[in-house]
Homo-oligomer: A and B are copies of this chain.
Amino acid sequence: MAEEAAEQQSGEAAAVVGLLGFKPHLAVPGMKADAAVQFYKAAFGAEELRRVAHPKRKAEQELPLILFAELKIGSSLLLVSDCIDAAGEGGTAAVIGGGISFRLETEDVDAAVKMAVAAGAEVVSEVAEDESGVVVKLKDPVGVVWVVSAAVGNKTLDAEAEA
């Protein structure tokens, strides 16, 4: 499987790893993700397809903490989150792309990561997300952070988008 992938590179590679989506992901500092979402609706006609709160957030906390909001702008998608950890907060200035990363949704996270690493990407970390399982954070040669994950509840998303 991995050998096949290596042989078929470039255009066909995407098919091999079952690429499902590519979405820019904006991590907003200062708990202002909700404000950002409201702005994108007003400013650019963004449509909020869904919003997922952080599952570990305690009820007594006043501010909503957005794990991600999925916005549709034109025919493309944008994810918006509150920064939820030290890496998200502190890491913004350290890499090109600042609070923006690129999310790559795939049918096979391992295969996608293997292909990227073979091409020169560096694995930054593996983190577990409650809804999508393991996601892998890569840094590319330019310095952009790519987060490779399984599709995050696309069935739910489709259902909501149709409703």
Chain A residues close to B by CB (< 8 Å) = 9-17, 19-24, 26, 28-29, 32, 35-36, 39-47, 72-78, 92-93, 95-100, 102, 104-105, 112, 115-116, 118-121, 140-142, 144, 146
B-chain residues with CB within 8 Å of residue A144 when the two chains form the complex = 26, 99-100
Check if B96 sits within 8 Å of A96, measured CB to CB.
no
26 interchain pairs, CB-CB under 8 A? A10-B41, A11-B72, A13-B42, A13-B44, A14-B45, A15-B45, A16-B45, A19-B44, A19-B73, A21-B76, A22-B73, A24-B100, A26-B142, A39-B121, A42-B115, A42-B118, A43-B120, A43-B121, A44-B104, A44-B116, A44-B146, A74-B105, A78-B102, A93-B93, A96-B99, A100-B100
B-chain residues with CB within 8 Å of residue A9 when the two chains form the complex = 41-42, 45
With contacts A39-B121, A93-B93 known, what are 9 further pairs, Cβ within 8 A? A9-B45, A13-B42, A14-B45, A16-B45, A20-B74, A22-B74, A42-B120, A43-B120, A74-B105
